[in-house]
Structure 1
Amino acid sequence: GYSGSTATTNMISEICYWKKIRQDVKTFVALCAVCQISKPNLVAYPGLLHPLPVPDLIWTEISMDFIEGLPLSNGKSVNLVVVDRLREKPKEWSKWLSLPEYWYNTNFHTFIQTTLYGAVHGQPPPSPIAYIEGQSLVDKVARSLNAREAMVQLLKFHLQRAQQKMKVHADKSRTDRIFKVGQYVYLKLQPHRQVTMRQGKYNKLTPKYYGPFQILDKAGHVAYKLLLPSTSQIHLVFHVSRLKLYKGPLPNAAATLPVCDAQGELLQLPMNVLDRLLGKVGNSAAVYVLIQWSNGSEADAT
C-alpha cells in the first residue's frame, strides 16, 4: 500500500476482486502508519487567516520596534519606534500632536513609578474614554473631542476593510483545519528540511512527521497545545499547518521525539561497535570501527 490507493487497487484487481474494493483499499492505505509519517501532506496551506481585532480607542494597542544600523549619534545607533494601530494622516501630523502628548504624559513611567500627569497634578489622569455628545460644556473641547471620535471611527473602518481584503486574498490558497481536544495528531517540527532532527544519513528517507501526540488544548483560532514527552525542549503550542490528523487505533505507548542538545542538533551516542578494520593514517597503523548510534539502526552506522 506504500504506492497509494490507486496503484494498490490496480495491482490487487489483477488477481482478485470484491465489492467496494476501491473504498476498502483507500481506507487501508489511509491507516498505514508508515505512509502517514513519511508522505507529504498534499493540501493547500492549512489554517485560515484570522486578523487581530481592531482596537476601539487610541493608544490602547501599540507596537514597538527597534530600527538598527543608523549612523552613530551621541554614542547611539538604535531607535525605538512606538506606533499606535489607529494611526493615519501622516501629512497632517502636526494637528494630532496633542494625542501622543496626552499618551506620553498619562503613561506609567518606571523611573518615577507614576505618570507625569500624576506627578504634576497629584491625581490620576482622566481616561480617554469615548466622547458622548453633550458631555463637555466648553465648545472648543467638544469640537476637538468630536473630531477625535470621528477620526477613530474612520480609522477603524479603513483597518477593518483592509483586514477583510487581506483575509479574502489569503484564504484563497488556504484550507480550514480543525481538531478536537483529545485527538491524536502527527507533528512536523520544521516547515522545511528537518536537518537537525535527521535520524539517519539519508535525509530524503527520514520521517516527515513525528508522533502521534495527543491534543491537550486549543490556543486561539489556529494553534493547539500537544502532550509532548517530558524530555522535549520545545514549546508545546503549534500552528495547524504543522499538524496532521492521526488515523488508526489509539496508540498504546506514548510517542517520543528525537533527543537534541542545547543547540537543537540531534544528540547521538555510540551504542555498539559492529565491525573493526585495520587501516593506516600517515605512517602509523590505525583501527577503524563501525559504530551504531543511539538514534539509528545498523544500516545508519558510520
Structure 2
Amino acid sequence: MLKKDQFQWTEESKVAFEILKAAMCQALVLALSNFTKGFCLETYASSKGIGAILSQEGIPVTYLSKDLGPKQMDLSIYEKEYLVILMAISKWMHYLEEGSFIIKTDHEALKHLLEHKLTTSIQKKGLTKLLGLNYVIQYRKCRHNLAADALSRRDKNEGELRQLTTIVIIPTWVQEVEQSYQNDLVAIEMITQLAVFVQDTTEWTYSKGVLRNRDLYGYTPPTMTWSTDSRVADIQKLLQERDTMNTILYEQLDKAQQRMKHYTDKKRSDRVLQVGDEVYLKLQQYKQSSVALRKNLKLSARYYGPYKVIEKIGLVAYKLQLLENSRIHYVFHISLLKRKIGEKVVTSRDPLEVNAEGQLRVYPLLVLDKRIVRRNKTSVTQLLIQWVNFRPENATWEDFNVLKS
C-alpha cells in the first residue's frame, strides 16, 4: 500500500470512509445530563437482583445493576419494587432533587404509593427519602421494560466468580502448624502469655495462628529514614519544613495522649492480687437467639464466684480456678476481677450454661402450673414453664402444642 501508485480511491473505499465518519460523529451510548430537561427513572426487580435506568428523552444517562442479599430475597414483590426505587433515588439524588421526574415501574400497586397506609418498615423508610421530591409514578408493562429487566438479571457465573474472589485461602502448612499446637503444652502456654503481654517486648510473636521468632533472620528490620540534605536549595528547604512539621505533630500528639491519660487515670486504681486470693469474676451477659423468651438480662448478675487465684501471668492478668464444666478461658484481665473482702459471701450463681457456640442454653426444666384459655373460640392448654438458667419468677406460659412439637 505504501508503494507508489498502489492505493486507489475506489467506490468501496468511499463507502467505508463515510461509514467510519458517521460512527465517529454520532452521540455516545450514555448521554450527558441536561438539568433543564426532566429525567425518567425506569426500575425493575427480579427474584435475585434489581435494575434501574436514568434517562432523558429516551437516551440513558446512567444505570444501576445490583444483586440482592439473602435477606432482601425474602421480601415480597411489592417490597422489592419499592426497594429498587429507593436505592435508585438515593444513588442519583444529585440528578433528581432539583426538578421533576417520572418513575416507571411494572408494579401497578406502586402507582398509588402516596395513598397507601404505612404498615411496613420499608414504607416508613421510603416516606422520608421521597419527601420533598417532585415525581410522578407511572405503570409500564413488563414487556416494555426490557432494559431494566436485563440489568436485574445478572449472570449467575459472574456472581459465583465474585464470591470466589472473597474466599480466604489458608496454606496447608499453616493448618498443620496450628494442629501441632494442640498437643504442645509449651506452645499453649506461650500463646496464652502472648495474648496478654505486649508482643513488641517479647522474643516471640503470635499472629494469624502461627508463632514466630523475632531473631529468626539474625537482625532487626531496618528503619526507613529520609535525608534532609539535597543539592537543590528548594528541595532541601521543603525537606526541612516537612521535618519541622513532623516534630510539631509528634509533640502535639504526645500532649494529647498525656492529657487523655491524665483524665483516664483519675478513674483507675492500682490493684494487685496475690496467689490464693479469692475474687469475683465479671462476665458479659450471654445472648440467646434460639428461643424467643420474654426475658430481660439487664438486671442479671454481673459478678460470679468467688474463685481462687492460682497463678499470676504478667502484670495485669491472672489465672483462676474455675469449675470443671466451664466453657470459658481461665485467664482474665484484672479489670474483670474484684477482690473478696471479709468472710461474708455475696450469693451469686455460677456462670450460665452455654453451648459450644457461646449461646445461652434455654430449654424447659420444670412444669409449675397448668391452665386452659379461650383463643378464637377454642380451648388452648398452656403450661407454666421454668427454664434452665432462669429463676422460677421468670417462668412463662407456653402452649402445650408448641412444646410438644
TM-score norm. by structure 1 comes to 0.43
Structure with the larger helix share: 2
Larger radius of gyration: 2
Higher relative contact order (CA 8 A, sep 6+): 1
TM-score norm. by structure 2 comes to 0.33
